[in-house]
Amino acid sequence: MRIVKTKDYNDMCRKAANVLSAQVILKPDCVLGLATGSTPLGVYRQLVEWYKKGDVDFSETVSVNLDEYVGLAPDNSQSYRYYMNDNFFRHVNIKPENTHLPNGLAVGKAEECARYDAVIREHKGIDMQLLGIGHNGHIGFNEPGTAFENGTYCVALAESTISANSRFFSNEADVPRFAYTMGTGAIMQARRVVLIASGAGKAQILKDSFTGPVTPQVPASILQLHNDVILVGDEEALSLFV
Ligand code: PGA
């Protein structure tokens, strides 16, 4: 694992955006695995800025996102499709048909999981997967205590995730209880993983994930077995082990 220690959140975003844009410059038709949440917001802002300056071109790039809430429509402002359109896709020249997320409104859950796995397979896997990390160690919505799953599946969100994500909703009862998530297997098959983390609140889980045992109790710990992980974290997030 390579560790890039940055001064603060903005520095972390710039460095992570540099790694992502280098990937797109070197392989314009690459497949980017993308993430939602608070942490990547500054990364997307930076990529948009560089796109507008003409430094990076997404016209051939394909994206597959990690996860989506079950039951939320794409135009629901809490859905991850909405987040991605709003924070990234509509500001750059990625083709809408090249952007993929699970469909929160799919009728058959098993069929939707199979469809999403087929999308990843048809594009020959993920070149670079951007990941955040939950305070409970989840990556995507692979929650603690569930077996390491291979393909996409529908997951019951952990209470800690529902409570952490309630800050985006008007109240906790509105947070969906289920989500589709790419499995740990698909994340592990990404050719390169870029995990970003910021703030003291992530320090303990980063330490547990990268220096503790590899266990489904700490889903991100499986990344210890991946041979090309770049951890971009700010000083506070890395304070307990670097
Ligand atoms: P955050 O979420 O970036 O909002 O902290 C990370 C995650 O849950 O994966």
Atom index in ligand 1 nearest the CA of residue 165 equals 4
The pLDDT value given to residue 185: 94
171 or 17: whose pLDDT is higher? 17
Percent of the chain with pLDDT over 70: 100
Locate tokens 């990843």: which residue? 120
The pLDDT value given to residue 241: 85
Q: How far is Cα 27 from Cα 109, in angstroms, rounded to an integer?
A: 33
33 CB within 6 A, ligand 1: no
Sign, CA torsion 34/169/175/202: positive
221 CB within 6 A, ligand 1: no
Of 43-52, 120-129, 144-153, the one with minimum mean pLDDT is 144-153
Active-site annotation holder among 68, 127, 138, 142? 138
65 CB within 6 A, ligand 1: no
Tens digit of pLDDT for each residue in 15-50?
999 999 999 999 999 999 999 999 999 999 999 999
Known active-site residue 8:
no
Residue 63: alpha-carbon gap to chain centroid:
11
Interval 203-229 mean pLDDT: 98
The pLDDT value given to residue 242: 77
Interval 129-139 mean pLDDT: 97
- Residue pair 83/41 in contact (Cβ under 8 Å)? The answer is no
211 CB within 6 A, ligand 1: no
Q: Which of 9, 69, 133, 168 to mutate to test the pocket of ligand 1 (most atoms within 8 A of CB)?
A: 133
The pLDDT value given to residue 200: 98
- The pLDDT mean for the chain works out to 97
Tens digit of pLDDT for each residue in 45-72?
999 999 999 999 999 999 999 999 999 9
Known active-site residue 123:
no
Position 183 pLDDT exceeds 90: yes
Atom 2, ligand 1: which residue's CA is nearest?
A: 37
Query: For residue 1, how far is its CA from the centre of ligand 1 (angstroms)?
Result: 21
Half-sphere exposure of 53 (CA within 13 A, CB side): 8
Q: How far is Cα 107 from Cα 5, in angstroms, rounded to an integer?
A: 44
The pLDDT value given to residue 137: 97
